[in-house]
Amino acid sequence: MTLEDMFGLKGRVALVTGGSRGIGKMIVEGFLAAGIERVYISARKINEIEETCAELGDRVVGIQGDISTMDGIEALVAEISGRENKLDILVNNAGAAWGADYLEFPEAGWDKVMALNVKTPFFLTQKLHSLLTAAASADRPAKVINIASIDGLRINPWETYSYQASKSSLIHLTRRMAARLVKDHVYVTAIAPGAFPSSMNKVARDHADQSAQGIPNKRVGDKLDMGGSAVYLASRAGDYTVGETLTVDGGIVNALLPSHFAEAI
């Protein structure tokens, strides 16, 4: 038994949506460290895609697009299908958030978040089914990793109604998809991140020390935490983990004492 046997991704091809920055980029870096052959990243902003591809090297291939709509999903699937005859790993990471007072929360803030955070992972995975099954076997299953959030596991103090509902939905959707796709040797799991620096979590990004005070292990997450967790689920090491959501949060959800709850959130 070697580390390569357990965690190596040599010869595999992945797609990471929202892979040009934040948690998506951390996952891409983890896959590269594990020896993956090629990683496609999708995002809306071409400048961010180009910057990330230039930084991370020629094993990272960028595709611009908006996958919040079915047309955008179909376009991404067509692009990948034109380049690859199989897909070993899909990471559904692209997401959105919206905050507003309960009495003023708009329909647009509901529909946008639910579409990208719940509808898109389902339909993108569905449309990529033939590429995923082409890569899949009992000895080396294909992997789908949905990026949820600890906000799908517990209530936070912010009025992000559709975001919290969407992430809770995605965790349960992960279980339902896993139950169906396991027979095709496509294993579906999820990661529920806590405080990781990103454009969606500006507090963790811009005020890491302050944010860390409410976390039991006293720091925000970094690319080793996220990249390592994704590699575990994507590699042979994670082949016996199906339908589960891996919480990666420094102890907020499961280790936090009730008296510290208000401080942490």
CA 93 from chain centre, in angstroms, equals 3
Instruction: Classify residue 101 as exposed, middle or buried by CB count within 10 Å of its CB (0-12, 13-18, 19+).
Output: exposed
CA atoms within 13 A on the CB side of 33: 17
Give residue 157's pLDDT: 87
pLDDT in tens, 171-182: 999 999 999 999
User: How far, in Å, CA of 31 to CA of 89, rounded?
Assistant: 10
Low-confidence residues of the chain: pLDDT under 70: 198-212, 256-265
Kindly list the structural domains of the chain, giving each domain's residue range(s) and its CATH number in brackets, ordered by start. Answer: 3-264 (3.40.50.720)
The verdict on pTM exceeding 0.85 is: yes
User: Phi and psi (nearest 5°) for 231?
Assistant: -60, -40
Q: Which residues contact 80 (CB under 8 A, 6 or more apart)?
A: 15, 40, 63, 87, 128, 131
pLDDT in tens, 22-63: 999 999 999 999 999 999 999 999 999 999 999 999 999 999
Q: What is the gyration radius of the CA atoms in the chain, in angstroms?
A: 18
Give residue 264's pLDDT: 43
End-to-end CA distance of the chain: 42
Residue type, 264: A
Give residue 200's pLDDT: 64
* Active centre residues (catalytic): 163
Residue length of the chain:
265
